[in-house]
Amino acid sequence: MCGIVAYIGEKQAYPILINGLKRLEYRGYDSAGVALFNGDLNVYKRKGKVNELIEYARGKNTKGNIGIGHTRWATHGKPDNTNAHPHISGDGRLALIHNGIIENYSPLKEALENLGHTFTSETDTEVLVHLIEELQNRDNLALEEAVRMALTEVVGAYAIVVIDKNDPTKLVAARKASPLVIGIGDNDFFLASDATPIVEHTKKVVYLNDEEIAVVTIDGDLQIKNIGNEVQNPFIQELALEIEALEKGGYDHFMLKEIYEQPKTIADCMRGRLSASEGWVRLGGVEEHINKMLKADRFIFAACGTSWHAGMIAEYLFEELARISVEVEYASELRYRNPIISERDVVIALSQSGETADTLAALKLAKEKGAMTYGIVNVVGSSIARVTDSGSYIHAGPEIGVASTKAFTGQLTLLTLMAITLGYKKGTITKSFYQQLITELDRIPSKVERLLSNIETQVQYIAGEIKDANNALYLGRGYNFPIALEGALKLKEISYIHAEGYPAAEMKHGPIALIDENMPVIVIATNKSAYEKIVSNIQEVKARRGMVIAVVTEGDLEISKIADYTIEIPDTEEPLTPLLSVIPLQLLSYHIALLRGCNVDQPRNLAKSVTVE
């Protein structure tokens, strides 16, 4: 949510900032802006995407080797040129970019207005830059000290970078609950919300911790202090990210690329953790804490959106295979309840980005209550990965499309590995079933590959048939109920068709009233258990003239007789079906969105990394 990027060094800053903003655009695209120092501060900002900014700045003075840039996902104030970042202090001396929310901006603003400050935007960010200005001028402070003092007065979340035209030899950056990475070049520094704008310049990075303030200088100095003014030792890490992973690689959209990458990403998630020939599964994070996990009263999964759907599948997996009692919570609800969590619980956060503010806050609450915390995360070095007691990366590589696809199947793979491991150690699954699941899991990447090549044309055709629907219903039972939720979310977020996911049997308790010939009903009907029941649910839809698109197991003859369309997926063990059944739903939503002329990778109002509440 909001992307920030900054540069200081010997090179021209503008092209570095613009490329960085393009890489970060998935975090928000309501407006974009830069501030560059070249004798004076030149600030250019525009409503809309980075391309609008490029057009606006064309022919203007974009020179300078120190600069900051921002791409916005609006919180306070509508998306327009005035509310776009960078924001400037009243005396025109400071420019600041910000990702996060200053929650107490209103009383701060009032106090500053009483001191004579006037504001031009509706943003919380402008208040922060005025506050820094006020403290800097009042006590004649160095920029970093004024920033530090200002942040002691701030409630909320921030990642900021500030530039001072009276001292254009440094950038000051700080973070709390919003991510900030510092790339260390040969003689320069690159600062950004994540590593994607940095990796093409350097692989040496420092992840700033909460309440740390960094000063990077034109002479190549990096100094970090905490908000209590104590010097901190920077921990320099090497990025394991390749630039190709950030490109579309010949696909029209990142989402399509990411859907097609799934055979590889699922295999990557299992690499070194599963051997089908030797018949074992090993997960470092689980083995380190095996006793605690086996003795736990409960596993509580906390997540948002698609990651929450993965958590829902975890409930089925862990209860069935490991007989562990599971609760699945929306992180945003868990954090504001007074939940009963104890040191006998394991709280597992699921997050692609590892930065989702609600998930992070739920984890902190769980820690306070003494629970063991575990992170299942994609982005290496992200906040969730760093605050949890232990965890596992899903190794899906950068996911750029706002609609999560490969991260979801990565989460499912990891959760399955975990459930199998615990089930076997607990003795709740037999050795032969353990081996059978391992063998089947090992086959999933090739099954996904075959599935993708078999269904593309058919799914495109079905997309054409239902693209004009106003509503859609997704139904599933057991392991495929969360897949119904996920299918509906995918359709909503990128094609703007209203869709709902339901347990198939629940349909008759309400949603059945909506069914008529205009309502496509997508039924995931691959279950071996409850097969006859789902057939009956399909009959109930057909009896009301609904159009049924059924996802079935290869060779299914019964449902093809009653459904309007059937999409076949390869057969597998029931706990593994979500890894296959979600694929046609991802592809269907992609093609529908495309036919409706929607921006697949950057759907309206959404951002990839939700770092605000």
**Residues designated as active site:** 2, 608
Name the one range near ligand AGP by CB under 6 A: 269-277, 304-312, 432-440, 501-509.
Answer: 304-312
> Residue type for 281, please?
V
Among 283, 403, 441, 452, binds ligand AGP (CB under 6 A): 403
Task: Tell me if 404 contacts ligand AGP by CB under 6 A.
Answer: yes
Task: Phi first, then psi: give them for residue 25, nearest 5 degrees.
Answer: -60, -25
352 touching ligand AGP, by CB under 6 A: yes
Does 306 help bind ligand AGP (rule: CB under 6 A)? yes
406 residue type, one letter: K
Residue type, position 395, single letter: H
- Asked if 305 interacts with ligand AGP (CB under 6 A), we say yes
CA dihedral 25→30→36→42, nearest 10 degrees, is 160
Nearer to ligand AGP, 44 or 308 (CB): 308
Backbone angles phi, psi at 122, to 5 degrees: -100, 10
379: closest CA among 419, 351, 416? 351
156 lies in the site for ligand AGP, by CB under 6 A: no
Q: Is 353 in the site for ligand AGP (CB under 6 A)?
A: yes
Name the closest residue to ligand AGP (Cβ).
Answer: 305
Q: Residue 197 or residue 305: which is nearer to ligand AGP going by CB? A: 305
Instruction: Show the tokens assigned to 123.
Output: 């943003």
* Selected range binding ligand AGP among 13-21, 255-263, 276-284, 399-407, rule: CB under 6 A: 399-407
Q: Is 373 in the site for ligand AGP (CB under 6 A)?
A: no
Stretch that binds ligand AGP, among 52-60, 185-193, 302-310, 515-523 (CB under 6 A): 302-310
Which residues neighbour 255 within 8 Å (Cβ) at sequence distance 6 or greater?
401, 403, 405, 494, 586, 590, 600, 601
Q: How far is the CB of 527 from ligand AGP (least distance, A)?
A: 24
Cα atoms in the Cβ-side hemisphere of radius 13 Å centred on 539: 7
610 touches ligand AGP by CB under 6 A:
yes
Bridge partner list, 31: 47, 72
Q: What is the 3-state secondary structure (H, E, C) of 374-437?
A: EEEECCCCCHHHHHCCEEEECCCCCCCCCCCCHHHHHHHHHHHHHHHHHHHHHCCCCHHHHHHH
For residue 389, state whether it binds ligand AGP (rule: CB under 6 A).
Answer: no
For position 360 contacting ligand AGP by CB under 6 A, the verdict is no
- Residue 260 gets the label, from left (phi > 0), alpha (psi -120 to 50) or beta, of alpha
Verify binding: residue 388, ligand AGP, rule CB under 6 A: no
Tell me whether residue 84 or residue 195 sits nearer to ligand AGP (CB atom): 195
Query: Which positions from 332 through 351 interact with ligand AGP, judged by CB under 6 A?
Result: 351
Piece of the chain touching ligand AGP by CB under 6 A; list 6-14, 101-109, 204-212, 401-409: 401-409
Return all residues near 242 (Cβ < 8 A) that are at least 6 apart: 199
Please name the amino acid found at residue 296.
A
156-164 sheet: strands from edge to edge? 87-88, 94-102, 156-164, 170-176, 212-217, 222-226, 231-232
Considering the rule CB under 6 A, would residue 402 count as an interface residue with ligand AGP? yes
Report d(CA 389, CA 375) in Å as an integer: 8
Stretch that binds ligand AGP, among 20-28, 40-48, 245-253, 402-410 (CB under 6 A): 402-410
Q: Tell me which of 307, 373, 409, 413 binds ligand AGP, using CB under 6 A.
A: 307
Sign of the four-CA dihedral 488, 490, 493, 494: negative
CB of residue 306 vs ligand AGP: minimum separation in angstroms? 3
Query: Taking CB under 6 A as the criterion, which residues in 455-514 touch ligand AGP?
Result: 493
Residue at 126: amino acid letter: E
Nearer to ligand AGP, 442 or 613 (CB): 613
- State the residues that interact with ligand AGP by CB under 6 A: 304-307, 351-353, 356, 359, 402-404, 493, 606, 610
